[in-house]
Structure 1
Amino acid sequence: MKYLPISNVLFILNRKNFVKRTKPNSIAIFHANDEFPKNGDQNFPFKQNADFFYLSGIDQEQSILVLYPDCPNPLYKEVLFLRQTDEHIAVWEGHKYTKDEARKASGIENVYWLNEFDTILHSIINYAENIYINTNENDRYGHTVPYRDIRMFEQLRQRYPLHRYERSAVILRDLRVVKSDIEIGLTKMACEITRDAFIRVLKFVKPGVAEYEIEAELTHEFLKQRATGNAYNPIIASGANANVLHYIDNNQVCNDGDILLLDFGAEYANYNADMTRSIPVNGRFTKRQRDVYDAVLRVMKGAVQLIKSGTLMSEYHEEVGKMMTSELIGLKLLNKHDVEKQDPKMPLYKKYFMHGTSHHLGLDVHDFASRYKRFETGNILTCEPGIYIPQEGLGIRLENDILITTEGNIDLMADIPLEAGHIEEIMNS
């Protein structure tokens, strides 16, 4: 791992909060993510299962966590299983956790090698009444690949068919969305690295530079500051490309007079930043570009005020839609009389602003959370309105990450240039 060690207090607290919500006499099993083959003799870079990391702090493949707080054998109340290293693995893959290192990282005292898992599990699982299984229940996920937790569940169900099986995701959906102080600190670090990368790019962009060159500048700054890399595939979209919401080709030249939409964020210690800025390639907004930019910025500032404890996502989006409608009328993209006659189920503003304004942020960029639960203190949400005008080859989106606290919300990206004049000043300095 490139990032600095994380206090195991975070993971000890997370496990404590999880087991408090399980039924009596229950065992919970969590698996590390699969390794995915890239070609004949390589895997894709390993990315840890977010739930497994949340509870263990272990950032290594082929690992298993077992939690059984009511276990009759005190040795197995919480157990971590790791891949045992050897000289061959050390030579070809490098260092793996020792047992002592895993204890320090996770706060789990009882650490065993993976080849002991079946024996130890069988010795205790028949004393449990319930088995908690971890599944991916993020409603943005479409299940097409039988990932490791699912495959292991099928094996368990064949071996232990009479146990009651429960879902860990129901508990984790409520826990993960409320960030602790350590998690907030890690997210702030991701935001700070993202800030530095953006300022680097502001000083780099000019007519004739390629989108992929800008992507390289971002990645350089991320890695230089111990980030794992990009939190997601960065969107470096110049001109008309900005109207493609998930544009990731990043292979075009940035032309004089175009707007460049940058949607990117650093990942640090598995926690993510998510930021969008729209900047003039030549360092100066035209009047039309500035008018659209300022309209998006006004919607963003209004939307941020609504991100507070007690807000419901659907009601929030409805209010943001009203703000956006007003701005689009002001830009003469919508007609006031047409808006008065619109179908409320298909509001006209969606022609120019077709995506949601916010999503939860954390270990996943689109973090695991309920869209039907009101916002809470400790939530981190993005705020990202945009206006897209294909006929003008113009797309502008702005995005910051917002933390809800008991005193109101805090913009974790408040120190990142956002005002059009500030952006022009840096680009022309």
Structure 2
Amino acid sequence: MIMGEFKQRRQKLIGMMNEGSMAILPAAPENPRDLHYPYHQDSHFYYLTGFPEPEALAVIVPHREQGQYILFCREKDKEKETWNGKRAGLEGACETYNADDAFPITQIDDIMPGIMESCSCLYYPMGYYQAFDEKITGWINQLRYRAGKGVVAPHKMVYLDFVLEEMRLRKTEAEVEELRASAKIIINAHKRAMRFCKPGLYEYELEAEIVHELLRNGCRSAAFPTIVAGGKNACTLHYIENNEVLNDGELVLIDAGAELNHYASDVSRTFPINGRFTRQQKTIYELVLKAQRAALNQIYPGKKWNEPYQAAIKVITQGLIELGILVGKMDKLIEEEAYKRFYMHRVGHWLGMDVHDGGNYKVDDVWRDLEPGMVMTVEPGIYIPAAIDIPEEWWNIGIRIEDDVLITEGGHEVLTADLPNTVAEIEALMVNG
């Protein structure tokens, strides 16, 4: 993503800030135990700066004469670079990452109180990093101690994370392109797992196929721990052990996502381990697919966030009644939430730089309107446990179908539409490659 995109975001934030305000945003701390793993920058910090390194601090001070955007970061150190790779340094902070001014991170305690002393309102994500919260409190206390000498200490705080979550909720075209690229990679990863799958493999062998495809396409890590759940494990929503044998005649549910350039995809597919759905598996699968299509039909600008969920609930409840798995009248069962025994999660979540991206689902206690540029998952599911009051033919069938969806001016675009999702498409891919 070009640096101009980050500058536009900072300018947008500046336009929202009150006079006499400033924003402070720390980078994610580096964990010494994880030095052999890719460092993951704080999403809010990266959203505004594009700066990938730890031990950094972004400061935005509207109308500051020497420059509105200040970046504190590590200085160049050739010896440490030999061990840990190149650093941007102060020169790189300005030339590469477009900071107006840059200072060594080691000098924040000397410099920051002076920058803050004319600030009346502080935008800051309190509660994310305790060590830095204590620094902020210490600087404010220093200024309060000097208040009698004409120094102004911040007396109002705005939670910067709430502001940034609302900004991040509506994606720019540049962000959409990143999400499309991430979606393309996870599509190919799912296809690879489907082609590779056969009875007798272990769940982790399918996970290895997913990870291989991510790495070979530039994703240093998955967007979240990959779930490969065979048979009854598919009825456990957060199963991540991935260590059991895939049995002939059963289904496997894979929930996986790629993270590319800080943008995530999140896709689930369920398919037969031997390449052919049984009659019962096909019946439940097609019911879930019908529910997903009903939800998608409710996704366009002006619709409320909850309407796709309500559409999916109706389809699933009616279908389970017709199969004899639920007994009663649909309206009453929906009112009693009887469907939650078999469909216990929402229809989706916001998607972006984080797999569960920030942003409220309600505004003033009312489900928010869907708007162009928002991106969400659509993932209905049915999970039928073994139980004495359920016919045995349905036991341990767990199915989820999840796609990534962009809301557009005219409706929506399924970013992961190229991944097979019908019974015929999945069987053809698994049998014929």
Is 1:155 aligned to residue 145 of structure 2?
A: no
CA distance in 1, matches of 2:359, 2:88: 31
Alpha-carbon distance change, 104 to 310 in structure 1, aligned in 2, over 3 angstroms: farther
- Aligned counterparts, 1:235-384, within 5 A: 235-337=227-329, 339-342=330-333, 344=335, 346-372=336-362, 373-384=368-379
CA distance in 2, matches of 1:226, 1:75: 38
* Residue identity (%): 31
2:56 to 63, 75, 79: 63
**Contact 1:134–1:149, Cα closer than 8 Å, also in 2:** no
CA positional deviation for 1:95? 1.5
- Aligned counterparts, 1:87-106, within 5 A: 87-103=78-94, 105-106=96-97
Alpha-carbon distance change, 189 to 26 in structure 1, aligned in 2, over 3 angstroms: same
Q: Specify the code of the residue in structure 1 equivalent to 2:340.
A: K
Q: Specify the code of the residue in structure 2 equivalent to 1:246.
A: H
Alpha-carbon distance change, 274 to 385 in structure 1, aligned in 2, over 3 angstroms: same
Q: Specify the code of the residue in structure 1 equivalent to 2:282.
A: R
CA positional deviation for 1:117? 2.8
**Contact 1:261–1:277, Cα closer than 8 Å, also in 2:** yes
- Aligned counterparts, 1:69-80, within 5 A: 69-71=62-64, 74-80=65-71
CA distance in 1, matches of 2:22, 2:12: 15
CA distance in 1, matches of 2:309, 2:188: 31
CA positional deviation for 1:115? 2.4
TM-score, scaled relative to structure 1: 0.91
CA distance in 2, matches of 1:236, 1:26: 48
Q: Specify the code of the residue in structure 2 equivalent to 1:185.
A: E
**Contact 1:258–1:281, Cα closer than 8 Å, also in 2:** yes
CA distance in 2, matches of 1:322, 1:253: 35
CA positional deviation for 1:43? 6.8
CA distance in 2, matches of 1:306, 1:152: 47
2:411 to 389, 404, 408: 408
1:113 to 80, 84, 104: 104
TM-score, scaled relative to structure 2: 0.90
CA positional deviation for 1:377? 1.1
**Contact 2:264–2:352, Cα closer than 8 Å, also in 1:** yes
CA distance in 2, matches of 1:21, 1:358: 29
Q: Note the alpha carbon deviations across 1:131-166, whole angstroms, 9 max, x for none.
A: 111246xxxxxxxx8545433333333333441222
- Aligned counterparts, 1:137-216, within 5 A: 146-161=129-144, 162-164=153-155, 165-216=157-208
Aligned counterpart, 2:28: 33
CA distance in 2, matches of 1:225, 1:255: 30
CA distance in 2, matches of 1:158, 1:14: 31
1:195 counterpart SS class: helix
CA distance in 2, matches of 1:327, 1:102: 58
CA positional deviation for 1:84? 1.5
**Contact 1:11–1:107, Cα closer than 8 Å, also in 2:** no
Q: Note the alpha carbon deviations across 1:302-328, whole angstroms, 9 max, x for none.
A: 101212222222344233222221122
CA distance in 2, matches of 1:308, 1:156: 47
**Contact 1:30–1:149, Cα closer than 8 Å, also in 2:** no
CA distance in 1, matches of 2:306, 2:134: 35
CA distance in 2, matches of 1:148, 1:223: 33
Alignment RMSD (CA, Å): 1.9
1:54 to 11, 22, 47: 47
Alpha-carbon distance change, 149 to 271 in structure 1, aligned in 2, over 3 angstroms: farther
Aligned counterpart, 1:220: 212
Q: Specify the code of the residue in structure 2 equivalent to 1:258.
A: E
CA distance in 2, matches of 1:328, 1:157: 59
CA distance in 2, matches of 1:290, 1:102: 56
Q: Specify the code of the residue in structure 2 equivalent to 1:359.
A: H
2:59 counterpart SS class: strand
Corresponding pairs, count: 410
- Aligned counterparts, 1:121-132, within 5 A: 121-132=112-123
Q: Specify the code of the residue in structure 1 equivalent to 2:100.
A: E
Alpha-carbon distance change, 187 to 291 in structure 1, aligned in 2, over 3 angstroms: same
Alpha-carbon distance change, 240 to 384 in structure 1, aligned in 2, over 3 angstroms: same
CA positional deviation for 1:100? 4.4
CA distance in 2, matches of 1:362, 1:135: 22
2:122 counterpart SS class: strand
1:240 counterpart SS class: helix
1:24 counterpart SS class: coil
CA distance in 1, matches of 2:36, 2:29: 10
Aligned counterpart, 2:389: none
Gaps of 5+ in 1: 1-5, 137-144
- Aligned counterparts, 1:15-26, within 5 A: 15-26=10-21
Aligned counterpart, 1:142: none
CA distance in 1, matches of 2:279, 2:334: 32
Alpha-carbon distance change, 43 to 196 in structure 1, aligned in 2, over 3 angstroms: closer
Gaps of 5+ in 2: 145-152, 363-367, 387-394
Q: Specify the code of the residue in structure 2 equivalent to 1:312.
A: K
Larger Rg: 2
Is 1:422 aligned to residue 413 of structure 2?
A: no
Alpha-carbon distance change, 247 to 22 in structure 1, aligned in 2, over 3 angstroms: same
CA distance in 1, matches of 2:332, 2:206: 44
CA distance in 2, matches of 1:263, 1:404: 22
Deviates more, 1:202-211 or 1:99-108: 99-108
CA positional deviation for 1:82? 1.0
2:23 counterpart SS class: strand
CA positional deviation for 1:281? 0.3
CA positional deviation for 1:93? 1.1
1:279 counterpart SS class: strand
Aligned counterpart, 2:392: none
CA distance in 1, matches of 2:102, 2:87: 14
CA distance in 1, matches of 2:123, 2:71: 16
CA distance in 2, matches of 1:295, 1:342: 17
1:8 to 3, 27, 48: 3
1:394 to 380, 388, 397: 397
CA distance in 1, matches of 2:191, 2:170: 30
**Contact 1:57–1:105, Cα closer than 8 Å, also in 2:** no
